[in-house]
Structure formats: structure tokens, C-alpha cells
Structure 1
């Protein structure tokens, strides 16, 4: 039998670290040929190129260079560009990751051409359809052929939505494979020391979701809460470009800059950023991945959202959902509470990539046997 041709889609900053351990595992498999496709959804060096360097990823085999745009524009451009790739040199399988626009766009383009698609991080649900990511998750999971879940609640969600059980494989959390892949580099890096901060004597902040940064009133509440919180614990705020734009347009960035114990920095590569997280006393975020990493590391996480697609981080981890006006109270409580160490959730062990490769091998070989028998 010929090798299976696999396209692995790298789309945006949240995807790159998940793609890396799987790329290396697929590259080592003798039965498949993997092609790395970069859609260009994030296209500046801080948001993209540094992640490839951090994880020893090669230059992409194909770069679609779609750039920015509205959700519809970006999704449409990725669909059209990736369809051309598939028509020119079709893969046997496409692997899409996470919940960004490129995830659903590449899945749609491939499925419409009869190409098999697998979704890594399938089954996650916030049940909040005002979030574009939730729409991307729902659509992707409804059309793909193989669904790899990071936790058992993902299996339950998919089964409740009518997905056949034989299409679902519980493989564990690929984010932790990424962390373990570069753990030694994270230990060596020490971004906090360059800022003069002590181990476990600071908090890390990231904010980017529209629900937090687009409404000037909500953003003002968060800024005031962060300034008050910084009197209890110095805060390193890695400011997303979109968030910086909102802070500047409202004039609120001056209030943050004037606070003695708030350090505003540009977004960092994964290794540098995780060197902060691993040394932090607490994380304040509205991101998805940080909820998982802090649970794995046993670090309190205050998530500024009404819901999460990763509920296991609430029930088995260190995460809690916090309203903007309650951030200071939640921080003070987190600093005063010394939680006992918890075991990581099931299969959050840094070994998801080998399980994914084995799952793909099993399903791909099954396809070839069926074709041979026709």
C-alpha cells in the first residue's frame, strides 16, 4: 500500500503549539507523508513565525497567505485558497485543529471534495453561540470523519449531538504535549527576571475577547480592577494587538501605564510566555489554552468569561470563571487560598500525539482496505 498523504493545517497562534507535537509524530511515522499548510491567518512575526522557531517546525510546505479580514472574508479566502491546493495535489486526509476560522474553512473545502477530515480538539462546547469559535466548533464537528477529543466531556457532547461513536477517539490534551516538547527551553528562559520580578510573586494577564475589550464600559471596569489588583500582586500584561488598539482608542492605556506594578509587554512566543506562566502566582485571562496549562501546572487561573468550552478545568482543575467587576475579590481569595495539588485530568499526560497517530493509522488503513475490496 502507498503512504497516506496527510495535510496538517496550521492556522493561527492558538493552533501552532498544538500542531507541533503532532507534526513531529507524523513525520516519524513511516506509513504517511505529512504536508504542513500555513493559512496565514496570523501573519506577523510575534503571532506566527516565532512559534515555528520555538517548536523546531520547518517552513510550511504551502503558505496560503490569506491575512486578516472579517470572519466571513477570512473564512471565504481560506476555503478558496485551500480548495485550489486540494484540487492540484489532493491529500488522503486533512487534519484541522482547534476552533479558528481556518479550522472550519479547510474542513469545508476538503469535505466538499470528498477528502477525509479529522478534527483535533473536537467536542469542546461553551454553549455560547455569540462566540465565533463556538460556531466553528459546531460546524467542523458536524461534517468531519474523525473526531479526536481532549476530555470525556467532549465525547459526551458529540454523542448527544448524534455523532456515531465509531467516529470519536478520546486521545487526551495535545496542548500538554506541546508544553512537554519544550519544557527544558521554558525552564531556561526567564522573561520575569528581565523585568526584575521574583518567582511566584507576580501574575500574568492576557485579554483579547470582544466581550471584554470591545465595550468601553467593560474595558474600563477591567482596567480599574487590574490597577487595584496590582496593589496586591505585580501584574505582567501581555497586550494582544487588538486589545492594545482598544486601550489606546479609549485612552485607558494611560491608566495602566501609570500603575507602578503593571508591566505592559508585547505578545511573546510560546516559550517566553510559558516561562512567565510557570513562575506566576496566578493567571488572569480570557484565553482557552491558558485554562488548560494552568490546570496541568497547578496554578490558579481566573478566567474572565461567563462560560468555558473546557469545563474540566473547573471541575478537575485550578480554573474559575470570574465577572469583570469581581476580579479583585477573586484575586485576593486566590492569593489567600493554598489549594492542595490535584492530579491532572485523564490523558493529560503529554502523550496525546502518539495516540492520535495510531488512531489515524487505524482509520486510514481501514479506508485503504475498503478501497482495495471494491
Structure 2
């Protein structure tokens, strides 16, 4: 398999040999990893349950874990899922990689479409599936919203959306997502939304909709052909727990669960215990949202960037993203990610991605550095 180099490997190569300004401490704004301590109650649960390491974890996950995920979906989206409609995963990265291989295995000439720019696992999954790729281009001109012609959709076997979006921070309304559900039914393709940033929002009135909500909105109450993925990594500042799920069409999930018994990526029971208390609690997530919102307010004050509806990314337009990245590192010891490393066919060119995952003090200091560099 000929996989593209990962964006962070490309970044290391781009910056190789550059000696940064030692007047400043290194600040890394490249990776979407929250820099906040995992809440103590989650850590405590993990410590309390280490004795269950003596047990092999089941592929389907313990009932208490699935129930906690179902509780989350009910509390957040007012949707009641059955046990057959949700499968826990070891984070969402593994399921984003192996689900397309499962879904496309029996297709003679498989076709997958996904948003562009993108989380590179989508492309890796396409390569592993030997699938033809159709890019759903997100541009400033289309408001970074997903759209694809009927001619292309008729060819698709699987479509992966990602809203709220990494890296552009764009969101799509329930009505707009509902149009995608209609197309999935009309042209009989599997529609997935990667919703890992659904809980990093800043206004209750405009909080992101789930594709599951959109499915019900257009009358697809059984979620036929519709699936979502979500994770506690961002919402709970707990990426190390590797707790996610895939939910929706029970018929698809029944077969996918059988496939997963061979994958061998069941979560250890202590991790499930800790993840369950995280999924069941909404208060700590609200606390993290306040921090991220404050970071965007600081960015708006210093850089003039708008506050998005969701995510913790700034998709900043620059003249030359590669030169910008190299010179920023050299002069201010700040690492950002060139947008062209996240897209194909020219998408992402002229942008950098900034992850606002530090505390208020560090965010203000490094964005001031960034502003001084821009004003240079």
C-alpha cells in the first residue's frame, strides 16, 4: 500500500534544519490534542477499576459502556438508540480506517467520497480499500459546506462527511445534513458523519446538529444507510482513553460487529469504566467549552478571526502557507500546520491550521507572537 506521508511527518521535513529563535519557548499549535488535564473523576474511576485487567474485554463492549453512550446521545441530541444501533470503538481513528474496508470489501469497483481538506485517515482507508476517491471540496466560495453533484453521488458506495469540520471549523445545519440523508437513500450509499467535534461549541442556540437528528428530520427514523462516529477525546480532554462509537443503521452495524471480532481492538475494561463515567457526565464538558470559547475571544481580539460555531481550530488565510510556516517557526518558535498538508488538488493552499488547545495565558502569549510576526 502506498500511503501518503502524514501531515506531521511532512511538517518535520519542512522545518528540518531551521534553527528557531531561542528568545521564545517552543509553542506547538499543530495537533488537535487538548492540553488540559483529564478531569479527576475520570482518572479516579480508572484507578479504582484496575483489578478488571484480569478480564478479556468483549468486542461489543460492556453493557454499562454502551448504556453511557446511549445516555449521551439522548442527553445531547434527544435521540433514543437501541443497543443494536451503537457499537463502541477504540477511539474513532480505528473505526474510520477499518469501517470503509468492511463496507467496500464486496464492491467490484468501490468509490468513496469525503470532504477535502480532511483528516488523513479517510484517505488511508480509501487506499486500503482500493477505492476510487471523489473529493468533496470545501472552499471559501462555498462557505466550506459539503456539496456533490448527483452524477458523482450515483457512483458512490460510501460518503464520509466531517461536520463540525476539521480543519475549516465549518458547521452544517440539520436541514442541510438532511439533504445528504435524502441522497443516501435515493442513491443507496452509506453516509457517515465524523462528529468528533460536536461538543466543542460556544452557543446553545447554534450547537451543531448530528446526522442522526437530520435523519429523523427527513423521516428516516431507522437511520437506514446513516451512521455517525463520535469520541470523548476532545470533549473530555481524554484522548488516551481511546473511547468512541459508531451509531445508526442497525443492519449495517450487525454485520460490522461480526467483522470487528476479527479486528481485535476491544477496549480494556478499566478504560471502559473510566470512559463510561465521562460519557455520562455533561458538566465537565461545559467547563472545557468555556475555555475554548475564551481562546477564540482572545484570537478575535488579537487576530481579528471570527468565532466559529464549533471546534477549536482557526483556518487562517495566508499568502504562502509553506513560507509562512517556516518563517514563523524561525522567527517566533511557533509551529503551525500548512493547510496544503491537509488537502488534495490544491485545497488548503494559502491556509494554515491553528489548534487553540492551550490555557488562556498561553494562548494570549503565543497569538501575540503570531500577530507580531504577521505585522513584521
Shorter chain as normaliser: what TM range?
0.3 to 0.5
Greater length-normalized contact order (CA 8 Å, ≥ 6 residues apart): 2
Q: Which has the higher helix share?
A: 1
Query: TM-score if structure 1 supplies the norm length?
Result: 0.32
Query: TM-score if structure 2 supplies the norm length?
Result: 0.32
